[in-house]
Amino acid sequence: MEGQEELFPQEAEACAPCLLAEVAVAVPVLHHLSYAVPEHLTGKVVPGVRVRVPIGSRRVTGFVVTVATKIPEGALKPLHDVLEERPFLTPATLALGLWVARYYGAPPGEALSALVPAAIRHGRRQKMDVLVELVDAAAAKTLREQHADAASWQSRSRVLRALLEAGDGLRLQEVLRIANVTVSPINTLERADVVRRRRVPALADPLANLRACPTQAPTLTGDQSAALDALLPRLDARKFSASLLHGVTGSGKTEVYLQLLERTLAAGRTAILLVPEIALTPQTLERILGRVPDVAVLHSNLSEGDRAEQWQRLFDGRVKVAVGPRSALFAPLRNVGLIILDEEHETTFKQQQSPRYHARDAALERGRIENALVLLGTATPSMETEGLIARGSIDRLQLPNRVGGGVLPAVGIVDMRYEKPVGPGGMFSRILLHEMDEALSDGGQIMLFLNRRGFSTTVLCRQCGWQAACDQCSIQLTHYRRSDRLLCHYCGRERAAPQQCPDCKSPHVRYSGFGTEKVAEATRGLFPGRCVERMDGETLSKRGAPERIYRELKDGKIDILVGTQALAKGLDIPNVTLVGVISADTALLIPDFRSSERTFQLMCQVAGRCGRGSQKGQVIIQTFCPEHPSIQAAARHDHASFATFELAQRREHSYPPTGHLVRVVAESPNDEAAAKVLAATRADAQSWPEIQDGRVQVLGPAPCPIPQLKGQHRRHLLFIGPDADTVTALLPRLPRRSGKGLKVLIDRDPVAVM
């Protein structure tokens, strides 16, 4: 890397034995830098504290990693000053952050600063938010229409859409999330006087004021008691151990978590409960708060000020339990006795930007560091966890039955190859319609699942064959009927739906295929007088929508809920007696080695949504691949046989959990630049001993399955190693570059290779 040399402090000064601090600086290098500790800072420079250090002529912040008395080999520059009295990182979070950096090949300075909220690092504690609003809504609307098809306006246009739909301004974080943009288009629009920013008091954290009536523990079921009998002694032993709580949906896993949490707190220790963001609903939190009142909830929609406040409460020891998505694993708690990862199979536990850690592996590491019990919970264990069990690293505790004897729903598979389906695009089999009729007339509620958003999924000219595709990504555009626009699901780019073919001007443009919007519309047509609602990325982006849908479903206002995987997760409605899977094939067709696993998990989760009350539930799965092992096993609720099948497949190709993957992705507007850097790495790798002796295999370089994304050409190179250590040793040799023309990213243990 250019300028590498100047990162090493030079400059000769004193050479006597001195205190020497190793510092992980906030620059992209993989090693620590050494500095002398000036006398007046002795005692303040301790591991985990932030310091300011010189690099060349710059001053940079960094975290102190170690302090030792040494005779330095060369002369050392002194560090400048210490930024806080009490280190933000505890010995455990420091060790964990360094492990993350090493294991995932991330610069340690970057990995460590990701552990402390920005507002804490910058000393911003005030509870203010930035509100973004339109200066003149009518003018903004016109402007947006004028530039609808201009490539350079895509992100600005999304910002305007979000603001126009919101009506009266949005908080900056909301704009960034809803419009899926960086701040740059907002800045541009502000300079052009289209939007303005205003500081406003932060919105109250919607989860902060939950009512939590204290509740009593129920009498445990036999299975729950057996699981706790196994776990409590391990918790008390204060030694690292890890278990999987493998329990079907509704088997009472959460009750086991609650009892473990209570025991941990009673023993004077602290705990972390990780859940997928999507599960952080008022419903789940109220349940936790009813039993464990002093909890810090760290969800991603917190304002900066609220995040800082929650973090501070943990840091000060005022609360002893952190609940949140993956980043809550780094909570500044001391004396952690218990770490729970619920829904451990969820891929959202993997962070998709540097440091690209997986919270499951990092949780196991924190458990080792803290001598804690780590409990992974799920109905459908990941193949990685199955691999850990097979190797004897963790054990499995089972909750095979639903609490209260509720039975798992009967699952029927409908072979769509032999169906004469009804509805647009043939979305309903006759059997499904019949069962829907029955369920409704028995007073039940229905969920229809399809993992595809929008109205039509293919827009095609019947005259010349033109297809509406994104010019920035290799994907077809999806038509949304309500807004009559075409949207790219990869980059969010959108344009007006064409009245005629843009190539041959033929008016015969055909809209076909279906997503949830069309399913909902067709359902309304087939069941007039019934209340049909939709729950997908589009409808959920409105503020308060998840809570409203949940409430209306629970109150029986909604008869039929159509949704994507948002619906598959966590909705616990006793009166849902039928779940229809419109198509089980959407995930199966994805060319990723995890597509079978995804499909199996999704089918099991969807099935778990029904029959949660006293009535028996039923599931109908429509598919064109009825023999597929994922679908067959899901229909029998048979995880064991699916795991056996899938692990054999993985072993055959040395995919995880057998092999360990590192994926190197090169992205560039210029395909040749991406190809070149990977070809060079590949050539270089030929001389590595691990490659020469065959321990490590290389696949590629090849174009990624999604070869173009947001205008970037994408190629990748895959290394498959036999064990974790071998793979760790490769990481420092891989190219890392990020500039305008080329970005190389390294993804260890990727959850997808698209």
Q: Where on the chain is the footprint of ligand ADP (CB under 6 A)?
A: 218-221, 224, 247, 249-255, 403
Interface with Zn ion (CB under 5 A), residue from 461, 486, 522, 734: 461
Q: Tell me, residue by residue from 525 to 554, as one string, x for binding to Zn ion by CB under 5 A and - for no binding.
A: ------------------------------
The partner in contact with residue 401, picked from Zn ion, ligand ADP, none with C-beta cut-offs of 5 to 8 angstroms by kind, is none
How does DSSP classify residue 558?
Answer: -
Rule CB under 5 A: say whether 624 interacts with Zn ion: no
Rule CB under 5 A: say whether 459 interacts with Zn ion: no
- Tokens linked to 625: 């691949």
Query: CB-wise, 157 or 251, nearer to ligand ADP?
Result: 251
Query: CB-wise, 252 or 617, nearer to ligand ADP?
Result: 252
CB of 381 to ligand ADP, least distance (A): 13
Rule CB under 5 A: say whether 395 interacts with Zn ion: no
Give the residues across from 480 on adjacent strands.
Answer: 485
Query: CB-wise, 550 or 655, nearer to ligand ADP?
Result: 550
507, with CB counted inside 10 A (0-12, 13-18, 19+), is: exposed
Query: CB-wise, 516 or 712, nearer to Zn ion?
Result: 712
The partner in contact with residue 490, picked from ligand ADP, Zn ion, none with C-beta cut-offs of 5 to 8 angstroms by kind, is Zn ion
The partner in contact with residue 375, picked from Zn ion, ligand ADP, none with C-beta cut-offs of 5 to 8 angstroms by kind, is none
Interface with Zn ion (CB under 5 A), residue from 275, 459, 473, 486: 473
CB of 480 to Zn ion, least distance (A): 15
Q: Helix 253-266 and helix 222-237: axis angle, to 10°?
A: 30
Q: Quote the Cα angle for 103-107-109, to 5°.
A: 115
Query: CB-wise, 101 or 486, nearer to Zn ion?
Result: 486
Query: CB-wise, 155 or 681, nearer to Zn ion?
Result: 155
CB of 188 to Zn ion, least distance (A): 20
Query: CB-wise, 151 or 237, nearer to Zn ion?
Result: 151
Rule CB under 5 A: say whether 568 interacts with Zn ion: no
520 vs 167: CA distance, rounded Å: 26
Rule CB under 5 A: say whether 493 interacts with Zn ion: yes
How many residues are there in the chain?
754
Secondary structure, 3-state, 18-62: EEEEEEEECCCCCCCEEEECCHHHCCCCCCCCEEEEEECCEEEEE
Peptide bond just before 657 cis, omega within 30 deg: yes
Among the residue ranges 239-247, 372-380, 498-506, 718-726, the one whose residues contact Zn ion (CB under 5 A) = 498-506
CB of 227 to ligand ADP, least distance (A): 11
CB of 538 to Zn ion, least distance (A): 17
CB of 116 to ligand ADP, least distance (A): 32
Rule CB under 5 A: say whether 151 interacts with Zn ion: no
252 vs 273: CA distance, rounded Å: 16
Q: Tell me, residue by residue from 505 to 524, as one string, x for binding to Zn ion by CB under 5 A and - for no binding.
A: -x------------------
Question: Which of 273, 254, 284 is CA-nearest to residue 379?
Answer: 254
Rule CB under 5 A: say whether 589 interacts with Zn ion: no
CB of 444 to ligand ADP, least distance (A): 19
Secondary structure, 3-state, 225-283: HHHHHHHHHHHHHCCCEEEEEEECCCCCHHHHHHHHHHHHHHCCCEEEEECCHHHCCHH
641 vs 634: CA distance, rounded Å: 10
- Tokens linked to 62: 């960094």
User: What Cα–Cα distance (Å) separates residue 406 from each residue in 248, 375, 438, 570?
Assistant: 11, 25, 21, 17
* DSSP H or E run through 375: strand 373-378
* DSSP H or E run through 410: strand 410-415
For 180, phi and psi rounded to 5 degrees?
55, 55
Under the rule (CB under 5 A), what is the footprint of Zn ion?
461, 463-464, 466, 470, 472-473, 488, 490-491, 493, 501, 503-504, 506
